[in-house]
Amino acid sequence: MKQTFLAILMLATLGGCSDMLEEKPKSLVVENFYQTKDELVAAVNAIYVPMRTDGGFGINYPAQQEGMADYGYSRGSQTDVSGYQGLLPQNVSRVQSVWENIYQSIRNANLVIANLPNAAQVSEEDAAALMAEAKYLRAMLYFVLVRNWKGVPLRTETNMGELALPRASIEEVYNLILADALVAEAGLTDRTSPDLAAGRPNKWAAKTLLAEIYMTRASTPEDFSELHVEDEWALARDKAQEVINSGKYALVQVKTSEDFQNIFGPDVVSTPEEIFYLKYSHQQGFGLVSYAHRTKLYYGPGGVYAQYTDTVANPIIANWDRADLRREHILYPDVFDKGPTTVLYRKYRDPLAVAPTGGVGGAGNDYPWYRYADLLLFHAEAAARAAGAPTAEALESLNQVHRRAYGYPSNAPSPVDFDIADYDLQGFIDQVVEERGFETMYEGKRWLDLKRLGIAVQRIKQVKNIDVAEKHLFWPIPDSEMLYNEALDPLTDQNTGY
């Protein structure tokens, strides 16, 4: 099933080779193409293509995020990323590639959104579902943009012919994200795998996205003209609770560290934990895996090993309980140029993978954008914040993830359970943040969590003794945008410090 869906994506190249800023389809006769369900499915498939490439979410995006995480470091050409002092030209180019691939996918989404209402040979039900999928993906993509660049040009179905577009405010970007996500929630199916093809979003993925959107808005109220923080936390809690109450998802149970391969292994098609993943295969693989390993001997294509950590120098790793099965699953020792206490990441491993060349080949592991573990930890934080104190429901969501990490059944009390009597609100949030750091290690999520919580600067100082300037919390608007978008002024529209 994974291979079938990916084969469709590889064939869906609508607009894939067009310039990032060119919104007009070159040779596509629009009125003749967007008419049948098959044509529109192909057009929706084309949304996935640019963002999944090595220049998008396959390598560049998660590699840059992992370099900023408090628990790890980067080396080689990625060294400057974890130095928090600015990006050297090679990494500026990588960040630009992420921007360009995201906007290519947004362009393809805009084409679907603009033309689908005129499709004469598509049922209302199919049209609503395809529109919802396109808007889910557009919301997700703009959510990535605004969290990494702040306000960005809003390219939508209404202005596809315009090259010169000003930067929208953060609030304006979120208004579009929220509107799209709500359409997705209303229009996507509630079916899950195997009834729904792996790699497709459903209603529960939309609710999970909404939960994170509301959490992020609540964490940064200064970016909005009118926002009631308590309401946002309650909305985040409620969306997460709806996913929990659906009974559609469950944590995969483990007894040994290797059992986590039943979640992250290269041959896994889908699991009860998968809410929304970016799907990969050996034919078009997840390139980040090559960044995690030194040689093919160690679990994958190897040869890059751009990210690593240290069992002594990094206090997060040094203090990580060895009884936590995630530790042994994720980390493995390898003596190389950083010293004998260095460890690499093996959350994603695929001994049969080959190093990707020109976007072809790589590991079969998938990129877990949203797992049920994410959703439970979203719920734990949002429920506690909405109530102004830890609640039994919030504690249970946290404990489910923690129990599984130690090999206990996630839905039954265990010896490792946290006790609500031990926590005030801040202490409980700190516990959730720690748990999420261990649970999502090497998934490209930690740096965004630290930024959302407003603790990125202090955490890096505390853990790595590095002073992070505020400018390094966001990436520079790329030259490909600044030079060709005449609505932008390089002196006033570039992010501060660049």
Q: What is the pLDDT of residue 191?
A: 94
Q: Which sequence spans correspond to the domains of the chain? A: 1-188, 192-279+366-454, 294-345
- Residue 478 is given by DSSP the state P
* 91 burial type by CB count under 10 A (0-12 exposed, 13-18 middle, 19+ buried): buried
Q: What is the pLDDT of residue 16?
A: 37
Q: Which residues face 336 on adjacent strands?
A: 339
Looking at domain 1-188, does it have CATH number 3.30.365.10? no
> Does the N-terminal peptide bond of residue 89 adopt cis geometry, omega within 30 degrees of 0?
no
Q: What is the pLDDT of residue 362?
A: 78
Residue ranges of the chain whose pLDDT lies below 70: 1-32, 296-303, 335, 356-361
Q: What is the pLDDT of residue 10?
A: 43
- What CATH number does domain 192-279+366-454 carry, 2.40.280.10, 3.40.1280.10, 1.10.3720.10, 1.25.40.900? 1.25.40.900
Q: What is the pLDDT of residue 397?
A: 98
Phi and psi dihedrals of 274, rounded to 5?
-80, 115
Q: What is the pLDDT of residue 11?
A: 43
Domains 1-188 and 192-279+366-454 share a fold: yes
Q: What is the pLDDT of residue 26?
A: 38
What's the pTM value of the predicted model, to 2 decimals?
Answer: 0.93
User: What is the tens place of the pLDDT at every residue in 119-147?
Assistant: 989 999 999 999 999 999 999 999 999 99
Identify the helix (H) or strand (E) that includes residue 392: helix 392-405
Q: How far apart are CA 495 and CA 498, in angstroms?
A: 6
